Amino acid sequence: MAPFNRLQRNSVLHKTLWLLGGYAFFLIAALSSAVYYVANSVESIHRSTLEFDELNREVEIINDYFNRQAKDRKNLFLRGHNSEDLAKYLDRVNDMTVKIEQQTNNVLQYPLAEPYRKDLEQLLKNHALLMDTYTEGVQIFKQTQDPRAGDQYVRGEGGEVGEELTHVLKQIDLDRQTLTANNQSHIRTVLLISTGGLIVFILVCSGILAFAVTDPMRRISRFTTFLDESRQARLSTDTREHTEFGTTTTIYQPLEGKRYDEIGYMVDTYEKLSSLIGDYSRTLEKRVQERTAQLASANTQIMHLNQKLAAENVRMSAELEVSRQLQALILPKEKELKQIHQLDIATFMEPAEEFGGDYFDVLQFNGRTQIGIGDVTGHGLESGMLMLMAQTAVRTLLLHGESDSAKVLKTLNQTIYANVQRMNSERNMTLSLLDYSGGKVSLTGQHEEVIIVRKDGGLERIDTIDLGFPLGLESDISEFIDQTHINLDPGDGIVLYTDGITEAENSDGTHYGLPRLCELVQLHWHLPAEEIRRRVIQDVQTHIGTHKVFDDITLLVLKRPTMATVNLA
């Protein structure tokens, strides 16, 4: 026991532990201080962020009230056709007005809201002016009994309040980010200074520790020769042959004069490690073989899975290709369009994906030409299937003698609504139907604006928002369906399109736009319909460039032939 005590007091380990203990104490103290400071700073940032988040949520509530009120304000003129409905929507609008004012006043009580006080107070004033305008619109509605008159009076109002709300929300978010960035910058600065000091401290302490350890390490170096001699001495053997078994036994002799210091312990440890390494070496190859077999089995399973995935991808691609071909087959062919002598018709459709959601059709029946154009929300397989439903249903109704476009839309909406509910889908579609005969066109249903182009280049735009309602949102849209009539003289025509043209983006995010489409059509209206279509599509594709196409592109050009064109034909 006494030699072991001497080893404890005089060993390199004992001295080194004392040095390491002091080193670790100062290191832990420095790290603890740094961690404590960072934790407090992070907590401060977290509190500031939570306060801004709470303020942002309160302003979001104002924005939500305003959006909900906007829907009720729209319904004042869309659905308030009798005094009872009008009173109901007026009560909703007034109730939301009170909530907006109360919520805004609550927000103004927050200390963090002080920088936005001017904007919020201006928002209240503008909202009050907006409500005065709607009150005047309702009075006009009551006096004229015409909801369109009231809707026309207030159309375009409310945008300024919405922009102010959006500005406040963006400013709150920007201020929060700025505060967070400043706090983080401060923390980084302090951490850099602390880290620099800590590095200097570590270098100094490491130098002291290295100096203190150098002397014991020299002692260990002097005993390196002794270590080798000890190993050779322990391997002095007594070799005995066992003739009866044909083997030789080697007996290892213990080393006499064992040292009670690190060297002695190193010798013993070396022998034990040598034995362990020998055992490990004998089993290592077996373990490697087992693991290699496991990896080979896993690799085989992965290969089988990849083959299954490849087969599934081929199957899905084939299904989508069949669907795309089916869609192409049911669209009107050029030969069919040329058989319609009443109109010069040119069409174009290009889906954003393999199966598009845009719809158009041209059908001649009983001396009349029926044209339909629509757009299913979204794109891909689900939108394409809804488009096929609409195309099949419209053709079936028209071919069975249903010539009333309003009834066609009503029946089609019921069919689509039932299918959408069954599919548990959120898809819906816009659809406009045009019935042409002898230079007269009846237009029914809600879609994009219809462009009317006169022979002399004059241009009119018809807003279809009041002629229908999106199909598939409500079970019954009868009250929203309306109709307007258009006269086309020889040389006049109509341009129909989907928002894939007007909202086509270039690499800068700029939309193609309806004004550009109208200007291009006017410029080339003296040309045949097919040439007008070609130039429009070429211009749209030039605008898009290499940018990805996000929506289906559909265009129809309908032109009533002049006498010269008819004679030429």
* pLDDT tens for each residue of 483-504: 999 999 999 999 999 999 999 9
Within a domain: residue 227? no
Provide the pLDDT for residue 89: 76
Under 8 Å between Cβ of 375 and 359: yes
Residue 412 belongs to some domain of the structure: yes
Entry pTM: 0.48
For 341-489, strand residue ranges (E) read 344-350, 358-365, 368-376, 429-437, 440-444, 450-453, 459-462, 483-487
Q: Which alpha helices (DSSP H) does 331-401 contain, by range? A: 334-338, 381-399
- Which of 139, 174, 205 is the C-terminal boundary of a domain? 205
Boundary of a domain, candidates 176, 205, 234: 205
DSSP E strands in 195-338: the ranges are 237-242, 247-252
What's the rounded Cα separation, in Å, for the pair 380 and 316?
A: 13
Task: Clarify whether residues 529 and 381 are in a common domain.
Answer: yes
The span from the CA of 416 to the CA of 408, in Å, is 12
Contacts of residue 223, Cβ cutoff 8 Å, sequence gap at least 6: 263
Q: What is the pLDDT of residue 480?
A: 95
Number of structural domains, the chain?
2
Residue 505 Cα distances to 120, 256, 374, 502, 519, angstroms: 35, 91, 20, 9, 18
Task: Output the CA torsion 254→258→260→262 (10° steps).
Answer: -70
Task: Using the 3D structure, point to which of 205, 233, 258 is the last residue of a domain.
Answer: 205
Report pLDDT for 559. 97
Please tell me the predicted confidence (pLDDT) of residue 274.
67
Q: Are 343 and 440 in contact (CB under 8 A)?
A: no
Q: Is residue 268 part of a domain?
A: no
Q: How far is CA 159 from the centre of its chain?
A: 26
Query: Is 156 a member of any domain?
Result: yes
Q: Which two tokens stand for residue 269?
A: 């440890």
DSSP 110: S
569 residues of the chain, pLDDT tens digit each: 555 455 555 555 566 666 667 767 777 877 777 677 767 766 777 777 787 788 788 888 888 887 887 777 777 767 666 667 777 777 888 888 888 888 888 888 888 778 888 888 887 888 788 778 778 877 887 787 777 777 777 777 767 777 777 877 777 777 777 877 877 787 778 778 877 877 877 777 777 766 666 655 666 665 566 555 555 555 554 444 444 444 444 444 444 445 555 555 665 676 677 677 766 777 877 788 888 888 888 888 888 888 888 887 776 666 566 666 666 677 888 888 999 999 999 999 988 765 667 889 999 888 899 999 999 987 777 788 888 888 889 988 888 888 899 999 999 999 999 999 998 888 999 999 999 999 999 999 999 999 999 999 999 999 999 999 999 999 999 999 999 999 999 999 999 999 999 999 999 999 999 999 999 999 999 999 999 999 999 999 999 999 988 888 999 999 999 865 544 44
Beta bridge partners of 393: none
Q: Looking at the domain assignment, is residue 128 inside a domain?
A: yes
pLDDT at 564: 55
- CATH code of the domain containing 138: 1.20.120
488 and 351 fall within a common domain = yes
Q: Which long-range contacts (CB under 8 A, 24 or more apart) does 26-35 make?
A: 26/201, 26/205, 27/201, 27/202, 27/205, 30/194, 30/197, 30/198, 30/201, 31/198, 33/194, 34/191, 34/194, 34/198
| 411, 424, 477 from 417: Cα distances, Å | 10, 10, 11
Per-residue confidence (pLDDT) for residue 217, from 0 to 100: 60
Nearest to 165 by CA among 68, 51, 45: 68
Which residue, chain included where needed, has tokens 């000091």?
Answer: 197
Give bridge partners of residue 563 from the DSSP assignment.
none
Which residues, listed in sequence order, are joined to residue 495 by a DSSP beta bridge?
Answer: 451, 557
Q: Say whether both 341 and 200 belong to one domain.
A: no
Report how far residue 235's alpha carbon sits from residue 255's, in angstroms, rounded to the nearest whole number: 9
Q: What CATH number should be reported for the domain holding residue 419? A: 3.60.40.10
Instruction: Please answer whether residues 354 and 385 qualify as being in contact, where contact means their C-beta atoms are separated by less than 8 angstroms.
Output: no
Domain presence at residue 443? yes
Q: How far apart are CA 502 and CA 432, in angstroms?
A: 17
8-state DSSP, 250: E
> Is there a contact between 389 and 398 (Cβ–Cβ < 8 Å)?
no
Range of the domain at 375: 334-560
Helical (H) or strand (E) element with 330:
helix 262-330
Confidence at residue 292, expressed as pLDDT on a 0 to 100 scale: 86
**pLDDT tens per residue across span 263-300:** 556 656 766 776 777 667 778 777 888 888 888 888 88
Q: Read off φ and ψ for residue 424, nearest 5 degrees.
A: 55, 45
252 domain-assigned: no
Which residue type does 325 have? Q
Residue 463, in any domain of the structure: yes
Q: Which residue, chain included where needed, has tokens 């350890």?
A: 213
- Read off the tokens for 252: 């290892």
Q: 3-class SS at 206?
A: helix
Are 427 and 378 contacting, i.e. CB atoms less than 8 angstroms apart?
Answer: yes
Helix/strand/coil for 167:
helix
